[in-house]
Amino acid sequence: MDGPAPPFSLPRIDTEAEAGLQEFLHDGPVVLVFAHADCPTTLLALRRLAPAAGERIVVVAQETVPDAARLARRAGVTGPVLADVAPHQVSQLYQVRTVPTAVRVEPDGSVAGVVEGWDRLALEPLVGVSLPDEPPAQKPGCGSRTVELEYRGGLDEPEDMFERGFSDGLPVVPPTRDRVEAMLGGRDPSGSLGTVPPVHGEATLERVAACAVLAGCRPDYFPLVLAAVEAVLEPSFNAHGIGVTTQPAAPVVIVNGLARDRVGLNSGMGALGPGFRANATIGRALRLVLSLTGGAAPGGLDRSTLGHPGKVGLCIAENEEASPWPPFHAELGFPADSSTVTVVACDAPLSVSDHRSRTPEELALVLARAAEATWSPFWWPMDDYSLFVVCPEHADLFGEAGWDRRRLAQFLFDTAVRPVAELRHGETTPQVWTAPDEGTVHKWTSPERILIVCAGGDAGRYSAVFGPCDGMQTRPVTREVQWTT
C-alpha cells in the first residue's frame, strides 16, 4: 500500500476495549500482522513471529473477538491481538488481499514496508529480529476475508484475478467459497496431500479445489486432479527439480480407464488439444497447484529458459478402444476396469508424420529417428523417459504384425544407436568421450525408458514423441483415481 498508515481503533481480545493504532506507536515502530484462523500459513508465521518479536507485532485478526482469542491461543501469541470483525474495514483500509500480510508502521505513521505470506528473509528486516532458520523459508499465503466479501458482493472479474496473481496468464474462474465447496464435494478442506515444492506450500484439499476452480474444472473432474497432485508429490517424480529447472520440462497427465468417459475426456481426434474442457482444465489445475501453492511461477522460481505450451497444462486420455494393445495402466499392473492418472515429466512434443511405411520395421525406424533428435542429438545415453503417443493408424500397423508394446520399445531402443565418433560434437556425455571410437551408444539406457500410449483420431498417420528431461532422475508415477471420500 502507498501513503500513510490509515488510523483505526479495534477491540482487543484481552479487554474487549478498543485500542487505536497510535497507542502502539508510542514505543517505536510496530508491525501489524493481518491474519485469520483458516490459513495454515498464518499459523506458521505467527508461531515463528510471536516468540521472536513479542510486542513488536500487533495481530489484526479477521475474526470475532472469541475466534481471534482462539487463534491467538493456537499460535502462541501473547502480544496484542485485535479483532477486525466483518466487514473487516481495517483490512480493507490496508488493502489486505492475502493473509498473513505484515505492515511495518513507523512512529510518524508512515508505512515502511509490506510482506505478504511467509518469507523469513523479507520479514526479518521488516520486524527487526532474527527468525528461526528452518524450512520452509517461504510459503504462499491465503486469501483475505475481504476477498470473500468482494466475491459475495458480486465481484467476479478475471481482471481482479490477474491483479492478485491467481492466474497462469489466461483468464480464470474466481474461487468463491461456494465454488470451492462444490468442488470439494463434502471432503475435509483441511485434509492435506503434502507440501508442494519448491516453496513447500501445503496442498490442502481446499487449496487444490481452489486451483481446480481457477482452472475451470467441473466438480466431477476433482478426483482426477487429486490423483494427479498426489502423483507429482511422490518424491520419485521430483517436483522440485521440474519446478525450478531451466529445461522446458512439464508434467504430462495420462488418464486411463472408466474416468475417460465419466468426465468426458477426449482421446480421439485432437487428443493433444485443444477443444475439450476436461483435458484442458485437469492439466491446467495441476499446473496451478505447482505454480500457486508450490511457487513454481515462470520468471520467479520457475527458471525455464523457453518453457513450452504444455506447461500451461496437458492432459491426455489413452484411446483404449482404438489401441491394439492392453490399456497402458493394465500393463503397469492396475485392473483394466480401474481408472488411473499417470504423470510424466516431458519436453515439448515432436510431431512425426509417416503415411508410407508398410512394415512395422519401417515405421518404428521413423519413430526412432525422430526420438533421436529430442533433448539433444548428441547427449547420449539418457537415463530418462521418452513418451511416444502413437496414433491409431500407426498402432494398427504394429498390432496387425503382432508387435506388442514391449517389442516396439525394444526395436526403438535397438535402432536409436549411433557410433561414438558421430556423437563427439558440442554437448555430449562423459561416456561418449571415454568410449572407443569403434563403440556405439544408445539413445536411452534401457528400453524401459520408453513409454507408449495410443491416442488420436482414426484418420491421419501422425504420431508424436515427447522428449525426455535430463539430470533430475524424475520417474513417471501412477495413481488410481479414488471416486469417493
Average pLDDT over residues 8-25: 89
Instruction: Identify the band that residue 2 occupies on the pLDDT scale cut at 50, 70 and 90.
Output: low
Same domain, 301 and 172: yes
Tens-digit pLDDT profile for residues 380-395: 999 999 999 999 999 9
278/316 Cα distance (integer angstroms):
10
Predicted local distance difference test score (pLDDT) of residue 149:
57
**pLDDT score recorded for residue 484:** 63
Q: Which of 109, 143, 177 is the last residue of a domain?
A: 143
Q: Is pLDDT above 80 for 363?
A: yes
Average pLDDT over every residue of 51-77: 90
355 and 233, same domain (yes or no): no
Same domain as 133, residue 166: no
- Range name among 144-148, 221-225, 277-281, 333-337 with the lowest pLDDT average: 144-148
- Say if residue 222's pLDDT is above 50: yes
Q: Are residues 307 and 368 in the same domain?
A: no
Point out the domain boundary residue: 121, 143, 165.
Answer: 143
Give the distance, in angstroms, between the CA of residue 174 and the centroid of all CA atoms in the same chain.
18
Is the bond preceding 140 in cis, omega lying within 30 degrees of 0? no
pLDDT, tens only, 156-188:
567 777 877 888 999 999 898 889 999 999 999
**Confidence tier at 266 by pLDDT (50, 70, 90):** very high
In a domain, 333, yes or no: no
Confidence of residue 430 (pLDDT cuts 50, 70, 90): very high
Residue 485 has pLDDT above 70, yes or no: no
Provide the β-strand partners of residue 114.
103
Residues 227 and 295 in one domain: yes
Decide: 167 and 161 in contact? Cβ < 8 Å. Answer: yes
Residue 68 resides in a domain: yes
Within this chain, do residues 14 and 100 fall inside the same structural domain, yes or no? yes
Question: Does residue 485 fall inside a structural domain?
Answer: no
Mean pLDDT of 324-335: 97
Name the maximum alpha-carbon separation found in the chain.
Answer: 87
In a domain, 315, yes or no: yes
Asked which of 143, 174, 193 is the last residue of a domain, the reply is 143
Number of domains in the chain: 3
152 pLDDT tier (thresholds 50, 70, 90): low
Answer yes or no: do 319 and 410 share one domain. Answer: no
Question: Which CATH number belongs to the domain containing residue 35 in this structure?
Answer: 3.40.30.10
Residue 201 located in a structural domain: yes
C-alpha–C-alpha distance, residues 122 and 114, integer Å: 9
CA distances for 218 relative to 164, 271, 466, angstroms: 23, 20, 28
Q: Are residues 186 and 288 part of one domain?
A: yes
**What is the separation, in whole angstroms, between the first and last Cα of the chain?**
42
Domain extent at residue 211: 156-323
* Mean pLDDT estimate for the chain: 92
pLDDT reading at 148 higher than 70: no
The residues with which 82 forms a beta bridge, in sequence order, are: 12, 60
CB atoms within 10 A of CB 37: 17
Residues 222 and 195 in one domain: yes
The answer to whether position 482 is within a domain reads no
251-283 b/e (C-beta count within 10 Å ≥ 16 → b) = bbbbbbbebbebbebbbeeebbbeebebbbbbb
SS3 label, residue 299: coil
Is 89 domain-assigned? yes
- Which DSSP helix (H) or strand (E) runs through 57? strand 57-61
Q: Whole-angstrom Cα distance, residue 187 to residue 199?
A: 25
Range from 107-111, 116-120, 151-155, 355-359 carrying the lowest mean pLDDT: 151-155
Query: Do 164 and 311 have their domain in common?
Result: yes
Residue 15's pLDDT band, with cuts at 50, 70 and 90, is confident
Pair (139, 161) in one structural domain: no
Q: Return the closest-CA partner of residue 474 out of 353, 342, 278.
A: 342
332-368: string of b/e by CB count within 10 Å (b at 16+)?
Answer: eebeeeebbbbbbbbbbbeebebeebeebeebbbbbb
Q: Is pLDDT above 80 for 439?
A: yes
Is residue 474 one of the residues assigned to a domain? no
315 and 352 both lie in a single domain: no
Mean pLDDT, rounded, for 32-56:
89
- pLDDT tens per residue across span 458-475: 999 999 999 999 888 999
